[in-house]
Structure 1
Amino acid sequence: MQRIDTIDDIEAGLDALVLADARLVDIRSRAHAVPLRRSQPGFESLASIIVAQQVSTASAASIWARLKTHVAPLTPENYLERGEEAWRLAGLSRPKQSTLVHVSKAVLAGELDLFGLCNHPAEEAITTMTAIKGIGPWTAEVYLLFAAGHPDVFPAGDVALQAAVGHAFGRESRPTAADLRVLAEAWSPWRGVAARLFWAYYAAIRGREATPLL
């Protein structure tokens, strides 16, 4: 597996994508720079993705800053030890509090190796992660994209990606997750770069960041 570790990797993926799908030539030019956006594997990276679920970038950043203040350093042990008062002060919703409890316990029990998963095939890693209560496909896919640098993962359930693809291809309504998964098959084995491209395109046309990484 060729990881996406550098901007050169992004450029190589973009070059391959526009050769495979001519529709992406104009999208690439309109998206301007396509950022790398990598994070270190581990609990903190996954926690940041969980915090970013279903909230604006600004709200996620605010909650994240408070969480790192009230749980410092942010480790599974410290998260569980600080308890509900710290989680509430950080602004975590009940479902996110619960998900991070399950993740913390799984990591400490050796049931979830967030470093080792980065070397597994995408489907296998996603299956392992989604077995943890509260982690859905979107969370697992985003983790593999940004923490593992996986080249061929496309989070089709991401609303911004759906909106970006729908706009780019002139659709009256954004595609469903199922529709987008089918569309994205044409961009394999560079779906991870295609996702970054469409997030960058979304930022260009909407004037606001949509990449789900703090």
Structure 2
Amino acid sequence: MTSCKPHSMSIQAWDTPLVCRHLLEPASNLVYSRMCSAIKDAQLRVRQSNDDLIAWKFDPESPSGKRLMSRMRHLLNENEALGRANQAERITVLEREAEAQTNCIKEFSKTHEGIESVLEEAYTDLEGLQTSLLQLHQQINQAESVVEALQAELEIREPGRVAELMKAVWEKLDDSKVEQQEKELDPNPFEATEAKAVCKEEPADDVLQTSNSS
């Protein structure tokens, strides 16, 4: 029993004759001592692991939690700054696009106004042409009525004279058409002058004949 006293102080719960008898053997004592040291090392590792877990536990009050929170705040600030920069750039791009669209609309409006002014001028010219054509038509009708009256009066005074005059007029018109076609094909100022002189002489002869007959 006296040989078990050194071990009885460390292992009081195992102070029995069976344990003391086993500890008397050197091999058992060596195994037991190694087992105790291994258990102590395991307990230390477990305690250290628990401490590490507690230290690395995500808690706002823990050091790691504080570091993570500060890092997250820093990242959020950077993200907000980038977002503001991106938003400002996007706004600038939108402003440029809006300005370009405004310029296009202004140019289109100017072009449209120019087209409208041209159309108004063309419409005004068309109205003027229509008015001129109407006046010419009225003048032609008046001239036709005067010619008919003169023809009737001339037919009363000189029967058959109207037919001769109409025939001469139609021949003169045919000659003028032929001359015009010749001018278009081979214009010659000298021939044109002679044709005009001939045309001027013929009405004079007709007038003289008419005056003599009357």
- Structure having greater relative contact order (Cα 8 Å, sep ≥ 6): 1
What TM-score, normalized to structure 2?
0.18
Higher helix share: 2
TM-score by length of 1: 0.18
